[in-house]
Amino acid sequence: MVWVPDEIDEYLQMGETTSKKSLLHFTQGVIKHFEEDYLRSPTDEDLRRILYQNEMRGFPGMIGSIDCVHWEWKNCPTAWRGQYQGHSGKASLILEAVADQDLWIWHSFFGIPCSSNDLNVLHRSPIFDDVLTGKTPPITFQVNGHEYNMGYYLTDGIYPNWATFIQGFSRPQLEMERLFANRQAHVRKDVERAFGVLQARFSIVRQPSLAYDEDILDDIIMKACIILHNMIVEDERDMYVRADVLRRYYEEDLSSLTATVNNGEPFEFQTGQPFSINALLGRITTLCSSQIHHSLKEDLIEHNWQKYGGNNH
């Protein structure tokens, strides 16, 4: 996918307009035929594999890393430039994404103006919609002898102290905290690596966008690139350096793992159920609980210290 519309004029004798139409036709076809498989939410099996990989890395119950990246919009209309211009002075759009160790992008939310930050994007994002409506299978795991009932993401320091977010330390004081901060930063790099690989594979999202229509950037180009990225991840997963972790997942007895998805049973969302405002409010309270956040973080610090610190470090 080339980013300069007239770059192949002399070779293919194709004009800029035809090149643009061909690009849009291709991306629309990718989305139409592959979106259901490669932009899906994690299935039960996907969640079990992700939980296994992350428990092996010292983070039981972790289901991914979340972060945002900016895509410069060179041809942003002048009337919109103030809205899409950030502190850098350039107009851009923000992509929020969740990725796992294999760099599969499980969630993407694109199109928020650059004048917003990661926290503003979060409050508009649909990332927790399925959790709040009960459409995701329940996750249960144990850390340091305590049981928890909701998966979490690794984040940087701007995200709030919710039960679903675990940050590192900007100024760790104790040896345990320094070890945890290093481990958390190392594992959280999954999503940053995914951004880097996505941009390396598709120069159209690495270079400033020349499109004039935000919908083309949002619903077509970015979505198609993420689909193609996930297709490549699926095809090359067995060749990764840590492919042995996946082989152990399929070959070993996993009964010793602390994390389970729906108690090991297949999960099916029950449609047609009456809406319960009390259930929704209860899920919101649990999801945003700072008490659960601090308790889980302390347990993860102790868990990583026992696994990697002291004589085991």
At 18-52, the pLDDT tens digits run: 777 888 888 889 999 999 999 998 988 889 889 98
Specify the DSSP class assigned to residue 270. -
Strand order in the sheet with 152-154: 105-113, 92-99, 62-72, 152-154, 165-166
Cβ–Cβ under 8 Å, residues 128 and 287: yes
Q: What is the DSSP string of 167-235?
A: ---SS--SHHHHHHHHHHHHHHHHHHHHHHHHHHH-HHHHSPB--S-HHIIIIIIIHHHHHHHHHHHHH
SS3 69: strand
In angstroms, the CA 25 to CA 6 distance is 17
The pLDDT of residue 151 is above 90: yes
Residue 65 has a pLDDT of: 97
Paired with 99 in beta bridges are: 65, 105
Element (H, E) at 289: none
Measure CA 213 to chain center.
25
- Tell me the mean pLDDT in the region 139-160: 93
Residues 184-225: tens digit of each pLDDT: 999 999 999 999 999 999 988 888 887 777 777 766 789 999
Cβ contact 52:63 at 8 Å: no
Q: Is the pLDDT of residue 71 over 80?
A: yes
Examine the pLDDT at 59 and tell me if it is beyond 80.
yes
Assess contact for 79 and 91: CB atoms under 8 A: no
User: 173 burial class (0-12, 13-18, 19+ CB within 10 angstroms)?
Assistant: exposed
Q: What is the DSSP letter of 149?
A: -
Distance separating the N- and C-terminal Cα atoms of the chain: 45
Supply the DSSP symbol for 262: G
The strand pair at 62-72 and 92-99 is best described as antiparallel
Q: What is the pTM assigned to this prediction?
A: 0.86
CB 181 within 8 A of CB 169: yes
Radius of gyration over alpha carbons of the chain, in Å?
Answer: 21
> Residues of the chain with pLDDT > 90: what percent?
45
Closest residue by Cα to residue 56 from 98, 99, 101, 97: 101
In angstroms, the CA 287 to CA 3 distance is 41
Give the amino acid at 155. Answer: T
Strand positions, DSSP E, the chain: 62-72, 92-99, 105-113, 139-143, 146-148, 152-154, 165-166, 260-261
Q: Which of 62-71, 82-91, 130-139 has the lowest mean pLDDT?
A: 82-91
